Copies of this chain bind each other. A is one copy, B any other.
Amino acid sequence: MDNNKKTKGRQRIDTSKRREREEDRLVTFSKRRTGLYKKGSELCTLCGTQLGILVFSPSGKPFSFGHPNIEVIARRVLEINPRSNENSDGVMDAYHMNRINKLNEKLTIVSDEGEDEKERGMKLAQMAKVRQNKFLCEPKIDELNDYDLPNMKDWLLELHGKINNHLEELIDSQVVGTYN
């Protein structure tokens, strides 16, 4: 019989079950997260849309992906609707911004002068072939029959709480020493 084959190739796995072996879970997570980002990136490129993905690793570490570059989106929103920072959400955003600014100081130190952030950004940019300019998405959302909205709202609240908890822990546990 012909056993010249170098590998067994891709084998079928049961996608309705959790992978039992710790090692398999980690490898699968790493590979499939990359694949998911690629799919998301392609969807955005092909259809000219915006997208965000947040996923927690098996160890609980959060990963996120935005297309196009998340900072570009954020800046665009502020340019288009500068009052959103002070107007309807004035109280909340003032509080939030202040809080975020303080957290940023810590995070800048933790992430070693933002070196890693830069690295990651370049990696994603390369992978997704993101073009920073020429962004064609509608600036306003005016569709009204939006069945997903209540769900998204809950999701945002949940995410927000999680992020804040994580950031709180970063500060409270004084972990800066772990780096450098």
Q: Are the CB atoms of A52 and B50 closer together than 8 Å?
A: no
Binary contact track A53-82/B, C-beta < 8 Å → 1, others 0: 111111111111010001101100100010
Q: How many residues of A contact B (CB 8 A)?
A: 103
Within 8 A of B (CB), among A144-180: 144-170, 173, 175, 178-179
Instruction: Please tell me if the beta carbons of A148 and B162 are within 8 angstroms of each other in the complex.
Output: no
Residues of B within 8 A of A102 (CB): none
Q: Which residue of B lies closest to A100 (CB)?
A: B153
B-side contacts of A140, CB under 8 Å: 60
CA distance A52 to B19 in the complex (A): 20
A47 at the interface (CB under 8 A from B): yes
Give chain B residues whose Cβ lies under 8 Å from the Cβ of A77: 158, 161-162
Question: At the interface, yes or no: A1 with Cβ under 8 Å from chain B?
Answer: no
Q: Report whether A64 and B148 are in contact in the complex, using a CB–CB cutoff of 8 Å.
A: yes
B49:A56 contact, CB within 8 angstroms? yes
List chain A positions with a Cβ less than 8 A from chain B: 13, 15-19, 25, 28-29, 32-33, 35-36, 39-40, 42-64, 66, 70-71, 73-74, 77, 81, 84, 88-89, 91-92, 95-96, 100, 103-104, 107, 110-111, 114, 116-117, 119-121, 129, 136-138, 140-170, 173, 175, 178-179
